Chain A
Amino acid sequence: MSSVSAKVLEIKDLQVRFDTEDGVVKAVEDVNLDLFSGEMLGVVGETGCGKSVTLQSVLRLLPTPPTRITRGQILFHGENLLDVSEERMNEIRGGKIAMIFQEPMTSLNPVFTIGEQMRDVIEQHRRVGKRKANSIAIRALIEVGLEDAEVVLSKYPHELSGGQRQRVMIAMALSCQPEILIADEPTTALDVSIQAQILAIIKHLRQTHNMSVLLVTHNLGVVAQTCDRVAVMYAGYVVEKGEKFGVLKAPLHPYTRGLLESIPRSRKVRELRSIPGSVPNLIDPPEGCRFHPRCSFATEVCKREVPILEEAKPGHFVACHHWRRLGY
């Protein structure tokens, strides 16, 4: 699907810094990601790898200061979102690119009803009156599986379960017919049984509404179930990206391999492996390849030079000095 469609979003050479009291956090380094029309791209990595920062930069949601976007472009149909006015940005936020968050508990305002919050968003983007906004909200809620939509509209967030709240968030995203849905760990805070339902809803809506989806997760299983392509991030860098099956079946980067090996599998009972060490401190990250202190294949060159992201196979990119040695 992706090879023939148009690019809707292009993140180019993005570099993000946080100023903290302990020093400058080098959170995102030269990240390049493309999102094609109608596709679902998974962005995977451990906590603190820069995946959420990258995606929040798209809608300029990070507070400045302390955040500084020091380099790069975020092109939405060729329009650089890092340059546009706040007014234009507010048309895009929700209207063209909608976002749902990890914590459905705290992502909705506790002192307004669901209806009030949804109507405000709909009226903002669709130039309709209150009554029309209400019926749009009801339709969206039904679409995400909340059948008693009118009751839900009159409820406050604390009166709903976590799964219902996340459905409300998705309905809110849906209600303004965005082209892109950014889902920032949408299932992490939910029960396992609810996770699958939420993913199924996102998958379904993406097809019925022809949305492109950027899904951030630390769970490779979620990627395997839902995405077309995947990008793996480590310590601020994209270290590997490509078609889902290429990356998951034949990973080229030692970090991706480590991630895959650390997934528990019930059928084959074997020792569960983990990646030794932990995510580096990004105030003073390792020189060269940021993964080298944890990598069993690291050599001298890895300590000196940052590996560039190169196309190892058609559509499959990797940033490792030794991918040729490691390839399957």
Chain B
Amino acid sequence: MGKLILMRVLLLIPVLLGVSIFIFLLMRLIPGDPAIIIAGENATPEMLQQIREEFALDKPLAIQYVTFMKNLLSGKVVSIKTRRPVFEELFPRFLNTIHLTLFSMAIAIPLGITLGILAAAHRNSLLDNFVMVLALLGVSMPVFWLGIILILVFAVQLGWLPSGGKEGFANLILPSLTIAFALTSMIARMARAMMVETLSKEYIRTAVAYGLPRRKVVYKYALKNVMIPIVTVIGLQFGYLLGGAVLTESVFGWPGIGRYIVDGIFSRDYSVVQVGIMFLSMVFVLVNLGVDVLYMLIDPKVRRDVSKA
């Protein structure tokens, strides 16, 4: 298992190289001159020239790329817009995103799994129908719309919670609920579908045929099998959310990494976008690695395949 983890971490190097080239070229394909956008329409040609020289924007692409990579490796990439080191700006925002993600998942994972499993165990009951309608709403409702409604009700009408910002814990609640609602719905639907499918498997029939009580059949024999696909979905969502829930962050003015990178795209801040995307790629690979390790803990087949490899 240690070997597997080492392999996957080493694999990060080619992945990040590929991402760096891809995102570098992609940024240069977008129309718009960072110098003009940052210095403004009324900037003098001298000012523009100064910015271009400072960031090597007037050099051939190959030189620009090499310069960027050199700066990256020495940790000295500077934002074109703010002229501050990108890492200094990125980390606090990433921490904000982690807060939001973890808090949302802390609500969504237990709630989603519980509701989905209960719905499947009591199929076609009132509870099942209620959960499924709610979950359908959750996956179909646009997050920005739900966010605005929550602001209207809890911030504007009732005045219980702040509508935005990140001063304290209270500011975390509404954006987390917004994300958690969609996430809970997704997990609940998945858990229910997988549980219904699992309950029709032959090994479940065996457990029933040997007189095990239904509680044990559902919550032990079926549940462990259901956890395998659920871990996949949660892992993917976790990686995705760590990339920043841009819409939610925008609605609530939450200074997360998603908004940071999107702002970088708008101002053609090549440094911010390139570093940001590479950083997120790395996070995504590492999260997937974590999911694979979890797999090994749940599924004995994966464990065997890994130890054979």
Contacts and interface: CB of A to CB of B under 8 A. Distances in A.
A264 interface: no
Contacts of B202: 101, 103, 106-107
Interface string A86-115: 100111111100110101001111111000
Contacts of A26: none
Interface stretch (A17-25, A118-126, A242-250, A319-327): A118-126
B210 A110 contact: no
A129 B209 CA distance: 21
A124 B210 contact: yes
A61 B208 contact: yes
Contact of B212 (A98, A101, A110, A121): A121
B8 interface: no
Interface residues of A, number: 32
Given A92-B211, A93-B210, A111-B299, A101 B304 contact: no
B300 interface: yes
Contacts of B205: 61, 101, 107
Contacts of B214: 86
B175 to A, nearest CB: 36
Nearest to B204: A109
Nearest to B199: A63
B209 A59 contact: yes
B84 interface: no
A95 B211 contact: yes
Interface residues of B, number: 26
A159 interface: yes
B206 interface: yes
A178 to B, nearest CB: 10
B206 A93 contact: no
Contacts of A124: 210-213
Interface in B32-46: none
B301 A93 contact: no
B262 interface: no
B211 A110 contact: no
B207 interface: yes
Given A103-B202, A107-B206, A110-B203, A94 B225 contact: no
A66 B221 CA distance: 23
A93 B225 contact: no
B299 to A, nearest CB: 6
Interface of A: 59, 61, 63, 86, 89-95, 98-99, 101, 103, 106-112, 120-121, 124-125, 156, 158-159, 169, 172, 176
Question: What 10 A-B pairs have minimum CB-CB distances, sorted nearest first?
Answer: A94-B210, A93-B211, A94-B211, A90-B211, A109-B203, A156-B300, A106-B202, A121-B210, A99-B209, A111-B224
